[in-house]
Amino acid sequence: MIGTRDHRDFFVRRTMFEPQRILLASHGTPGACAAERAALALCGSGRALFHLVVVPDFWKGMMGDDWLNNVATRDAYCKHVEAQLGKEIEEQRQALEPQVTARGTRYQIAVVIGKPAECLLGFAAEVSPDLVVIGSPRPPGAPGVRSRMRLEQLLKTLAAPLLIVPYPR
């Protein structure tokens, strides 16, 4: 596994690029956690890390099966799903924010619902990052929800460099 020191050495020494405004798109998966480690390696005094968590829009319509046959049951189920997502996102924030601020970097989180690439592009337009960091797609056979970032759309539209961190082995 590559440590944060190795990531920093690569980016700073080999590219001479020290971004001041880093946009990190992550959501708690192993690939996203690898992206978090790479972004952390770039944090430093006076910098800013903008953490984007995208809840894919397929969660909006998640109503379960026909057992949700009345409004009260459907509402209770929706509140349960929202509460679970909120809890997971808050746990991610609580794990990442102290590591970022300990490096003297300002931390800001944004949680949005939608298509991942569109949400990332919209947030990038708001915060004007020097670098965007994401994890690579999950390899075939790896467990997890198949919510993919549309890389072609990012590559065509992003104004900042895009760092795609390899999936951890």
Could you tell me the pLDDT band of residue 131, with boundaries at 50, 70 and 90?
A: very high
Sign of the CA dihedral running 8, 13, 19, 24: negative
Q: What percent of the chain has pLDDT over 70?
A: 81
Position 26 pLDDT exceeds 80: yes
Confidence of residue 45 (pLDDT cuts 50, 70, 90): very high
The confidence band for 77, taking pLDDT boundaries of 50, 70 and 90, is confident
Cα separation, 96 vs 27, in Å, equals 11
In terms of Cα–Cα distance, which of 164, 130, 161, 160 is closest to 148? 164
- Residue 51 backbone phi and psi in degrees, to 5: -100, 115
d(CA 135, CA 167): 7
Residue-range domain boundaries for the chain = 19-57+92-165
Class (C level, CATH) for 19-57+92-165: alpha beta
For residues 115-120, give the mean pLDDT: 93
Beta-carbon contacts of residue 156 (< 8 Å; ≥ 6 apart): none
CB-CB contact of 152 with 43 (8 Å): no
- Residues 102 and 22: their CA atoms lie apart, in Å, by 16
Whole-number pLDDT of residue 70: 72
Sign of CA dihedral 47, 152, 138, 84: positive
Report the range of poorest mean pLDDT among 45-54, 88-97, 141-150: 141-150
Q: Find the range with the poorest average confidence among 69-78, 86-95, 99-108.
A: 69-78
